[in-house]
Amino acid sequence: MKQLTVISGKGGTGKTTLAAAFASLAENAVIADCDVDAADMHLILKPRVLVKEDYCGLEIARFDPKLCIECGKCREFCRYGAVTENLEVDPYSCEGCAVCTIVCPEGAVSMEKRISGQVFSSETRFGPMAQARLGIGEEASGKLVSAVRSNAKKMAEQYYKDLIIIDGPPGTGCSAIAAITGTDLILVVSEPTVSGIHDLKRVIELAAHFMIQVVVCINKYDINEENTRLIEKFCTELGTPVLGRLPYDDIATKAMLQEQTVIEYAKNSEHASESEFANQVRKIWAKVEERLMDIPDEQKGMKILKMKNFS
């Protein structure tokens, strides 16, 4: 089984549009929406939820007012500023470290389970899908991303799928790292704006940090062709392949309004530019597939070894 993550650094460059299109082109894949705090993939793929589970991330401190002597030790030792002046826990700042349980002389603090969100296993018209919903104001988005990925993996095994397509979050922090670690290939969706270029460089660095192969595609390339050439130039210098260019087009929004992927939408479109857009996406996907095929499947390798041991 192989895993592809679509990320971008900068938000709004077209990750979900592209990942959804890939879902409709891939023959045998599980889709994982790992942008858990602003998940949009379900708006296009309309998943039917099969299993829904609460997800508990970090715990949260709870103070028993009957035992509390208001010594303020908890507030003094909390490094996250999560104990208010009135000696109450601020749920938005508590990181569940439990230091307050150690320093409280009265044993008035206990750690409680905290439901940080829900994870879903679903089916869509393109195959199985794993997604999640982060609770309002909850921490632990990185952990929730890992939970979605482990669900996706389970489904891939269950339904004999050989690929997981992961729609990643923007940024380079906790959630983005959780979405890329241990994957086989990263596709960065960039755009030829000063921000797009800056953020592309940072995610390429991030991928290098975790030693994962990167390929790039440039969306809205015609908004600034000079910047597009700039991206292609430095990617070439880095040895990072640029798989394709997509034009600035309203097709993504139009398809979204119809709850369709751009591939589906273009089938019924009379505009040549829209069919051409879909063709370019197909070409990018073909190149991604080619890359994925070239990457050795470590897990498969391990399975074969195991079987050899048994026989």
Partner 1 sequence: MKIAFASGKGGTGKTTVSLNLALALSDVQLFDCDVEEPNCNLFLGFELEKVEDVICSVPVIDPEKCSLCRRCSDFCRYNALAALPTKVLVFPSLCHGCGGCTLLCPEEAIRESHRFLGLIEKAKEGSSPEFYRGLLNIGETMVSAVIKKLQKHIDDRKTAIIDAPPGTACPVIASIEDMDYCVLVTESTPFGFHDLKLAIDVVRALKIPFGVIINRYGLGGSKVEEYCKTEGISVLLKIPNDRMIAELYSRGIPFIREMPEWNEKFLCMFEAIKSQLAGGKEART
Give me the residues that bind partner 1 (CB under 8 A), please.
Answer: 8-13, 16, 35-38, 40, 43, 58-59, 77, 79-81, 92, 95-99, 102-103, 134, 136-142, 169-177, 191-196, 198-199, 202, 205-206, 209-210, 220, 223-224, 227, 248, 250, 253, 256-257, 259
Smallest distance from the beta carbon of 63 to partner 1, in angstroms?
Answer: 17
* Residue with Cβ nearer partner 1 (184 or 199): 199
Residue with tokens 């996406």: 281
Smallest distance from the beta carbon of 21 to partner 1, in angstroms?
Answer: 14
* Residue with Cβ nearer partner 1 (135 or 241): 135
Smallest distance from the beta carbon of 9 to partner 1, in angstroms?
Answer: 5
Smallest distance from the beta carbon of 214 to partner 1, in angstroms?
Answer: 13
Smallest distance from the beta carbon of 133 to partner 1, in angstroms?
Answer: 9
* Residue with Cβ nearer partner 1 (35 or 184): 35
Smallest distance from the beta carbon of 137 to partner 1, in angstroms?
Answer: 5
* Residue with Cβ nearer partner 1 (194 or 286): 194
CA dist list (Å): 275 to 15, 265, 272: 19, 9, 5
- Report how far residue 288's alpha carbon sits from residue 275's, in angstroms, rounded to the nearest whole number: 20
- Report how far residue 67's alpha carbon sits from residue 85's, in angstroms, rounded to the nearest whole number: 18
Smallest distance from the beta carbon of 185 to partner 1, in angstroms?
Answer: 19
* Residue with Cβ nearer partner 1 (101 or 299): 101
* Residue with Cβ nearer partner 1 (253 or 311): 253
* Residue with Cβ nearer partner 1 (140 or 163): 140
